[in-house]
Amino acid sequence: MPVSFSKNTEEIEESLGYVFKDKRLLLESITHRSYHHENPDESLNYNEKLEFLGDAVLGLAVSHILFLDDTHLTEASMSKMKSYLVNESVLFEMASKLSLGKYLRLGKGEELTGGRSKKSVLSDAMEALFGAVFLDSDYVTVREIILKLYSQKLPDVISKKEGYDFKSELQEKIQGIYGCLPEYRIVKQEGEEHRKIFTVEVYINTILYGTAKGKSKKEAQMLAAQEALEKL
């Protein structure tokens, strides 16, 4: 069960490093539609409008942070990195680290169906929280909060291109140059059933361009695509 709202405000604010002037905005950001529908007199608003605003604020802040990076990223690279950084999975990971689920105000039905751990519910609440901070303060403040929350994720994304979709980039490039698709071949599987290592080769017009190992087929294919792109 969720803790009391007064404790919610203190703990969320401590995690964010930001104290709300208008606590109603914080309350609205953690209020799900299901709670509002079941408690219309107690809850006048729910977090979907804040989510809409927060999505735009997050997109701008991440774009700005990538733009200011001194590694001379291309527009295409920034676009793909931004898409990864603002996607549902990354927002869910961020919300989980903040333990945001235990603070949500949910209706009984949503509660019973595991709403506190649903990826969609938590990622939406995370965006709503960004929207609430923006309305309560300003763009610079919310950007600093986003930068802090992404501080561990950003270096890997920029330097190692973690989350970068090398397969899609390789496919686009090969279709444009050769008018064909890359071919991925799983050439080896080793290890125990629950700890397999896959070796994948990627071919372009029957020529081997990349070989890589990974803990999943997808990871191995992505790494093989990265090697092929480097060779191209």
Give catalytic residue positions.
55, 127
Q: How far apart are CA 38 and CA 108, in angstroms?
A: 8
Q: Is 36 helix (H, G, I), strand (E, B) or coil?
A: helix
DSSP state of 156: I
81 HSE (CA, 13 A, CB side): 26
Say what angle helices 119-136 and 88-97 make with each other, to 10 degrees: 80
Written as one string, the DSSP assignment of 24-75 is HHHHHHTB-HHHHHH-TTT-S--THHHHHHHHHHHHHHHHHHHHH-TT---H
How many helices and strands in the chain, by DSSP H and E?
12, 3
For residue 198, what is the enclosing H or E element?
strand 197-204
| Closest alpha carbon to 198 in 181, 221, 178, 175 | 221
Residue given tokens 């001379």 in the structure block: 72
Q: How far apart are CA 117 and CA 15, in angstroms?
A: 19
Neighbours of 119 (CB within 10 A): 14
DSSP state of 103: G
